[in-house]
Structure 1
C-alpha cells in the first residue's frame, strides 16, 4: 500500500508541474504558417478564379475566347445531330412553317464535328451578333443574305466553302448532310482574319450555394409544342439523379450522333414573342427586341418571368431584376405569342 501511495503522489506532483508550466508559458502555440495554408487551400477548393461567360462554370484557367454560333438542322432526317451536347446555349426557333432550327453556341467546349448545318435567318443572326459570335451557316434567306453580304457579322457560309471547310456526309442526303469541324471553323476564321480573342458578354449566374435554394412550382416534365403533328415538339424531363433536364424530340431522346452522349440542360428558358409570316414560303419576321412573357425551369422547378433583350442578350426578368441562371448549359425555346405560352407549353409535375 505504501508503494501505491508513493507512486500516486509522484504522478500528482508531475501533473501539477505541467499545469504550472502551462500557466507560466501558455499553451503550446500552433504553427501560424500551417493555419494560413489551410485557409488558402479551403478557398481554392470552393471558388475557382475564373468562370465561363455563357455557363458560369468555374475554371482554374482563363476562360477567354470568342463564341461560335452555328445554324444546326432539326429536320427528322438530320437527327441525331453532332456537337449539340457541347453547346453552352442552344436557341430553338421556327425557321418556316412549323419547322424549328437550332442556333448552337459554343465557347467553353469545342466539339470535334458540328451539324448538319442549315441556312440562316436574320433573327438567328441577331442573336449571334448579341453574343459577338462568329456565325456559321450553309445558305440563307434573302434577309439573312443581305446582312451577311454587307458584313453585319463575321461569318463562314457553306455557299462559299462547300467541299472545303464544309464537308458532306455520305450517310445522309442533302440538304441534311453538311458538317463543319471545329478545326475548320478556326481555319476559316484565320483565313478571313477574324479575331477569335474577344469573349462574349457574361450572363448572370447563381453561386453553387444559391443554386441549392432555387424556388418555384414543381416542374419535373414540360412539353413545348410547335406543331399539331408533334414532329417538332420537344419534351424536357428532370432527372433528379443528375440534377439536369433530358430532352426528347418526337419520342426520341436527343443525343450526340457520334458519342451517343445525351443532351443535359441546367436551365430551360421558354419565351413568347410575335411571329409574322412575310412570304409565301413561310419565312418569318420574329421580334427578339420588345420583350414579353416566359418561363424559367431550373432543378425541377418553374417560375413565371418576363424576358428582355439586354444589349443583345436575351435574359429572364422578375420584378425588374435579372433572374440568374443556374451554372451550366441552357436551352432557349422561342414560341409565337399566337397561340402563346398557355397553349404551347404544358407541365407534368409527376
Structure 2
C-alpha cells in the first residue's frame, strides 16, 4: 500500500442525561412525547426515495441514470453539470490525469461537459448502475465494449456536431458538450429505454446521520502526482454540513451557474493499477475489493470496499456502511508502487 499520511484527532462526545426528578414527577409524559415524535416522523415521511442519493420526494423517483465522462484537464475547468450529479467517480486515465464519471438521476442538468473519451473501467461502473453511458472517444479496450453494445451508449465519435456540440470558448479536445435534451433525443433514436431505475444504495436516516462516529477530519487531500495539478482537496463546511471540493487550490464550481460542488459522502478506495501500453492506458481493478476511507459529517472511518453486483460499496465488519443522504464522490487511488499517490487528513480547515 502507498504511504497514506493520516493525522487524525479523536473527539470525545459528552452526553447529558435527562433530569431524574422531572422523570419521576410525571412518568407518563415521556411516553406521550415519544408517541408524538413517531407520529410526526410518519406524517413527514415522503412516499418516494431517489436510489442514488436516498433523498425523499413527493413525486416518483424512477428513471434511468445517465453516466457521463467529464474532462478534468485544467483547460476544461470549471466543468458544466457536476453540481447536479448524484455520484461522481474520479479515476486516473493516462499518467497523472484524472477524469470523472458523473452519474445523473435525481437531477437533470441542462448542459454537461466537457465530455471526454471512455476507458473500460468507466464503462464497467456505468454497467453496474444500468446507466446510459456518454463519452466522446475511447481507448481500444473501451471501443470493443461499446461497439458490441456491452452498455447502451452515445459517443461523440458518432454524433460530433449533432448530439454533441463544440463550445467556441475552449479548444479541442476540451470543448465537447451534450445537453440532457440531446441525451434523451439520442436514446429515443437508438431505441434505448429510459424508464428503468438504477439499483439502490444503502442510506442512513436523517436522524442517524447526526450521530456518525469516527475520527475528526475536516480536510483531506488526495494527491495523484508531485505536480499538484490533479490534487483533489475536500474541506468540510460545518455551517452547511457538506464538503467543498478544490482542484489544485481552486474551488470546484459549475461553469454556468458558478454554484459550488457540495457533497455529503467522500468515499476513497485503494486498488491495483497497471499500465498496459505505451500510451499509459491503465487496467484498474474494480472487482477484487480492498482498503478505503469513508468521510461523512467531518468524520473519517476506515473501511473496506466491495464490488456488490457492479456497485462499489463501503464495508465494515462484513456489513455495508450506509451513506448519508445526498451526493457522493468516489476517489480511486493506486495501491501499487511506482504510481505516485497519497491521501492525507487534517483536523484543521485549509483557510
TM bracket, shorter-chain basis: 0.7 to 0.9
Structure 2 match to 1:18: none
Aligned residues: 313
State the TM-score, normalizing by the size of structure 1: 0.87
Q: Deviations over 1:270-300 (max 9, x none)?
A: 0000000000110000000000000000000
Q: What is the CA distance between 1:49 and its match in structure 2?
A: 1.1
TM score, norm. by length of structure 2: 0.87
Whole-angstrom CA distance in 1 between matches of 2:323 and 2:39: 28
Change (3 A) 1:313 1:44: same
Tell me the residue number matched to 2:62.
64
* Counterpart check, 1:48 vs 2:46: yes
Aligned positions of 1:247-266 closer than 5 A = 247-266=245-264
Choose from 105, 108, 111 the match for 2:109: 111
- Distance in 1 of aligned mates of 2:266 and 2:339: 14
Runs of at least 5 residues in structure 1 that lack an aligned partner in the other structure: 1-37
Could you tell me whether the CA contact under 8 Å between 2:71 and 2:113 is conserved in 1?
yes
Deviations 1:218-270 (CA, angstroms, capped at 9, x unpaired): 01000001011000011000000000000000110000000000000100000
CA distance in 2, matches of 1:342, 1:321: 31
Instruction: Say if 1:77 and 1:39 are closer, same or farther in 2 by CA, change over 3 A.
Output: closer
Partner Cα distance (1:185, 1:156) in 2: 8
Instruction: Looking at secondary structure, tell me which structure has more helix per residue.
Output: 1
- Give secondary structure in 1 for the equivalent of 2:211: coil
* Secondary structure of the structure 1 residue equivalent to 2:233: strand
CA drift of 1:339 comes to: 4.7
**Deviations 1:128-150 (Å, cap 9, x if unpaired)?**
00000000000000000000001
User: Which residue of structure 1 lines up, in the alignment, with residue 294 of structure 2?
Assistant: 296
> Which residue is equivalent to 2:167?
169
- The reply on whether 1:160 has 2:158 as its aligned counterpart is yes
Asked whether the 8 Å contact 1:272–1:340 carries over to 2, the reply is no
Q: Contact between 1:65 and 1:196, CA under 8 Å: does it hold in 2?
A: yes
Structure with the greater relative contact order (CA < 8 A, sep ≥ 6): 1 or 2? Answer: 2
State how 1:277-292 maps to structure 2 within 5 Å. 277-292=275-290
> Within 5 Å, which residues of 2 pair with 1:19-38?
none
Q: For the residues of structure 2 that align with 1:214 and 1:242, how far apart are their CA atoms?
A: 16
Of 272, 275, 294 in structure 2, the residue corresponding to residue 274 of structure 1 is 272
Q: Give the secondary-structure state (helix, strand or coil) at the position aligned to 2:207.
A: helix
Displacement, 1:42? 3.0
Backbone CA RMSD of aligned residues: 1.7
Q: Tell me whether 1:146 sits opposite 2:148 in the alignment.
A: no
Q: Pairwise mapping of residues 1-350 of structure 1 onto structure 2 (< 5 A)?
A: 42-43=40-41, 45-339=43-337, 344-350=342-348
Shift of 1:343: 5.9
The 1:128/1:316 distance shift into structure 2, 3 A limit, reads: same
Q: Which runs of 5+ in 2 are unaligned?
A: 1-35
CA gap 1:213/1:185 in 2 versus in 1, 3 angstroms? same
Residues 208 and 141 of structure 1: CA distance in aligned 2, closer, same or farther (over 3 Å): same
Q: In the alignment, is the contact (CA less than 8 A) between 2:225 and 2:340 conserved in 1? A: no
Instruction: Provide the secondary structure at the position in 2 that maps to 1:258.
Output: coil
**Conserved 8 A contact 2:222-2:341:** no
Task: Give, in angstroms, the shift of residue 338 of structure 1.
Answer: 2.3
Work out the CA distance in 1 between the residues paired with 2:283 and 2:172: 26
Work out whether residues 67 and 134 of structure 1, in 8 Å CA contact, stay in contact via their aligned partners in 2: yes
In the TM superposition, residue 47 of structure 1 has moved relative to its aligned partner by 1.3
The answer to whether the 8 A contact 2:70-2:113 is kept is: yes
Partners of 1:268 and 1:332 within 8 A in 2: yes
Q: CA deviation at 1:43?
A: 4.3
